[in-house]
Amino acid sequence: MKENDRKSFDTETLIGHDIEDILRAKGGQVEGGDPTFDQKKKSEERISQPQSEEPSSQKTSPEEPDIPHDTEKKTVKKPKKKKSRLYRVIMYTFAAIFILLIAYLVYFNIFLKDDILNSPYNKRQDAQAEYVIRGNIESSDGQVLATTVTDDEGNETRVYPFGRVFAHAVGYTTNGKSGLESEENYTLLTSHANIIDRIVNDLSDKKNMGDTLVTTLNADLQQAAYSALGDARGAVVAIDPETGKILTMVSKPDFDPNTLSQDWDAMVSDSSNSSLVNRVT
Q: Quick count: other Cβ atoms within 10 Å of Cβ 111?
A: 9
CATH class, range 124-269: alpha beta
Phi and psi at residue 221, in whole multiples of 5°? -65, -35
pLDDT digits (tens, 9 = 90+) for 161-196: 999 999 999 999 988 899 999 989 988 999 988 889
Decide which of 203 and 100 is more confident.
Answer: 100
Closest by CA to 222, choosing from 165, 271, 279, is 165
Read off the pLDDT of each residue in 15-35 and give the average, rounded to a whole number: 54
Read off the pLDDT of each residue in 51-56 and give the average, rounded to a whole number: 46
What pLDDT is stored for residue 119 in this prediction? 80
What pLDDT is stored for residue 51 in this prediction? 47
Work out the pLDDT band at 59, boundaries 50, 70, 90: very low
pLDDT digits (tens, 9 = 90+) for 126-151: 788 889 999 999 999 999 999 999 99
Query: What SS3 state is found at 236?
Result: strand
What is the residue-averaged pLDDT of the chain? 80
> Cα–Cα–Cα angle for 157, 160, 161, nearest 5°?
120
Q: Where are the domains of the chain?
A: 2-46, 124-269
Strand order across the beta sheet in which 137-138 lies: 156-159, 144-150, 137-138, 213-214
In contact, 215 and 137? CB cutoff 8 Å = yes
What pLDDT is stored for residue 38 in this prediction? 55
Tell me the DSSP string of 134-188.
PPPEE-TTS-EEEEEEE-TT--EEEE-TTGGGGHHHH---SSS--HHHHHTHHHH
| Lowest mean pLDDT segment, chosen from 11-25, 106-120, 264-278 | 11-25
In this model, does residue 88 exceed pLDDT 80?
yes
pTM: 0.61
Where would I find the beta strands (DSSP E) of the chain? Answer: 132-133, 137-138, 144-150, 156-159, 208-209, 213-214, 234-239, 246-252
pLDDT digits (tens, 9 = 90+) for 240-278: 999 999 999 999 999 999 999 999 999 988 888 889 999
Work out the pLDDT band at 54, boundaries 50, 70, 90: very low
pLDDT digits (tens, 9 = 90+) for 192-243: 888 898 899 888 888 999 999 999 999 999 999 999 999 999 999 999 999 9
* Rounded Cα gap, residues 145 and 270, in angstroms: 27
